[in-house]
Amino acid sequence: MVFEHNISTTNRPSETFNLLDLARHDRIEVDGSLTRNDIYFGDDVHFDAAVFGPVARDLGLNRHDRKSTFVTIETAAKATKNRLELAKSVNPEFNASAHQHETEYGTTALYLLTVWDENQKASPKRWVQALLGEDRIAYKEGYSKGKSVKTGKQLGDITTSMRKAIGWKP
């Protein structure tokens, strides 16, 4: 995907990838990130605890009980919607481009699918916390990539389910 969008800033894009390439505004990085502040406020590259705090609360990452150990599609969709509404309310230059609108739930679907538990049809909260809140894969918490390859169809299905859950309009 990185190479399809030609976002590399290196002179060997088919061989190397720099994470800072993701910061090119309105290519992959868009306003309303779940873990980074908008470019309007300066630093859209580094994790921002003040941005992530309300998202973590909405995802229920601070609540650990036997009944709620997973982040569901519906919960993730609502958390994303809340983050977008907050970002729009505080950023006078919020970039509501067509690209931003098309990807706003796809990026959430991507993180869910990355740490998806197929048996539960949801993502373990501990894995989501590690991925979003600590910028790491949750190996210490028991994550394994599984035996099946994640597909674009799965990503599309989760994105569609998220959009449906919050009444998203194209």
What pLDDT shows up at residue 2?
37
Q: What is the pTM of this model?
A: 0.83
Half-sphere exposure of 134 (CA within 13 A, CB side): 13
Domain count, the chain: 1
Q: Which amino acid is at 38?
A: D
Structure tokens at 68: 């709620």
Tell me the pLDDT tens digit for each residue of 76-124.
999 999 999 999 999 998 887 777 777 889 889 999 999 999 899 999 9
Q: Has residue 16 been placed in a domain? A: no
Give the residue-averaged pLDDT of 58-83.
92
| pLDDT confidence band for 8 (50 / 70 / 90) | low
The whole-angstrom separation of Cα 160 and Cα 146 is 23
pLDDT at 4: 46
For 70, residues 6+ apart whose C-beta sits below 8 A from its C-beta are: 117, 120, 122, 123, 124, 125
Please give the angle made by the CA atoms of 131, 133 and 137, to the nearest 5 degrees: 20
Q: What is the pLDDT of residue 54?
A: 97
**Is 54 part of a structural domain of the chain?**
yes
**Inside any domain, residue 97:** yes
Where in the sequence is the domain holding 154, given as residue range(s)?
31-166
Q: Contact at 8 Å (CB) between 55 and 101?
A: no
What pLDDT is attached to residue 31?
A: 79
List, in order, residues 6 or more apart from 112 with CB less than 8 Å away: 71, 73, 76, 122, 123, 128, 158
Mean of per-residue pLDDT scores for the chain: 85
Percent of the chain whose predicted confidence (pLDDT) is above 90: 52
Residue 100 lies in a domain: yes
Q: Are the C-beta atoms of residues 54 and 83 closer than 8 Å to each other?
A: yes
120-156 pLDDT tens trace:
999 999 999 999 999 999 999 999 887 888 888 999 9
Query: What pLDDT is attached to residue 147?
Result: 82
CATH number of the domain within which 98 lies:
1.10.489.10
Q: How far is CA 63 from CA 1, 57, 159, in A?
A: 34, 8, 25
What's the rounded mean pLDDT across residues 46-57?
A: 94
Q: Specify if 147 maps to a domain.
A: yes
Q: What is the pLDDT of residue 32?
A: 84
